[in-house]
Amino acid sequence: MNTPELAYSNKLEEYFDNLEKKAEACYEIGEEARGKGYDPKKEVEIPMAEDLALRAQKLTSVEGTAEKIRELSEEFDRGEVSLKIAKEVASRESGSVRKRLEDAVRIGLAVLTEGILVAPLEGIGGVDIKENSDGSNYVALSFAGPIRSAGGTGQAMSVLIADVVRRELGIGEFKATPSEIQRFKEEIPLYKKERGLQYTPSGEEIGLIVDGCPISITGEGTEREEVSGQRDLPRVETNRIRGGACLVIAEGMCLKAQKLKKYVEKLDISGWDFLDEYIKKYATGKGKQKEDEKKKGVCPN
């Protein structure tokens, strides 16, 4: 005769088995319906997955990563796992450099966001390799509005992931021009007026981050309003406000600078010394600004 604990265990197992079977049946119906061609896509977009590792793999379609993510998760926290799995994907021999770069960034962000948000897919508009004026190459990380769902930490870490990956692939650093820096100094306050920001950095803060960052933070135009100064820049594809890029700099790189610095130090990543200067000069005032905005009735996003 079963003990109460064993009986309960068996019932619980039967319950979850039943849920899984019914879910599979629903997917079969969904696939059959989609196969008739009446919908934009002929397959069910949301895949079934049993854990974070498989969710991240299926969300990004970067194959052969789930098991490695599970292994890394036993030893490291999620932030470290995201950086390490991105580096592992970049080091693969198959696929073009640009494809491995993009896959690595997307799978890294998917791990950070637990494979349940659209940020790794729709928040990253694209990842490209471009040239500086001196002929050296660099990584351009293009963001779209849905990157907001990743939160400040995810936004900032996606840039660090891209830097780790570009080093693995032997790609050079981004070198911002004065015009590109001035563009963000105008653009971010404009975005604040349109959509709101949890933290609005000063022009000096924006300049320090954009000038020091080894990755080009850019993006598609998300707002109707256009900048009035620094228009038609050679390496900026639109004069419209780039909401995703503004979010990543303001709520990501600036607001989460201290958290970003922890991973830089933990993994001994060079080239991020500008964070030290930023934290020393500006990090202490953020809490006060957020409190002031709450008192004024500004709802942080």
For 32-70, the DSSP string reads HHHTTS-SSSSS-SS---SSHHHHHHHHHT-TT-HHHHH
Average pLDDT over residues 104-122: 94
Write down the pLDDT at residue 1: 47
Phi, psi (degrees; rounded to nearest 5) at 137 = -100, 165
> Residue 51 pLDDT > 50, yes or no?
yes
> Residue 98 pLDDT > 70, yes or no?
yes
> Residue 102 pLDDT > 90, yes or no?
yes
* Residues 208 and 277: beta-carbon distance below 8 Å: yes
Cα gap 24→40, rounded to integer Å = 22
Q: Which of 216, 213, 217 lies closest to 264, judged by CA?
A: 213
Write down the pLDDT at residue 5: 56
> Residue 246 pLDDT > 70, yes or no?
yes
For tokens 């990956």, name the residue. 165
Per-residue confidence band for 7, with pLDDT thresholds at 50, 70 and 90: low
Write down the pLDDT at residue 301: 42
Average pLDDT over residues 211-223: 97
> Residue 286 pLDDT > 70, yes or no?
no
Choice among 37-46, 104-113, 167-176, 240-249 with the minimum mean pLDDT: 37-46
10-32 pLDDT tens trace: 888 889 889 889 988 998 999 99
pTM of the complete model: 0.84
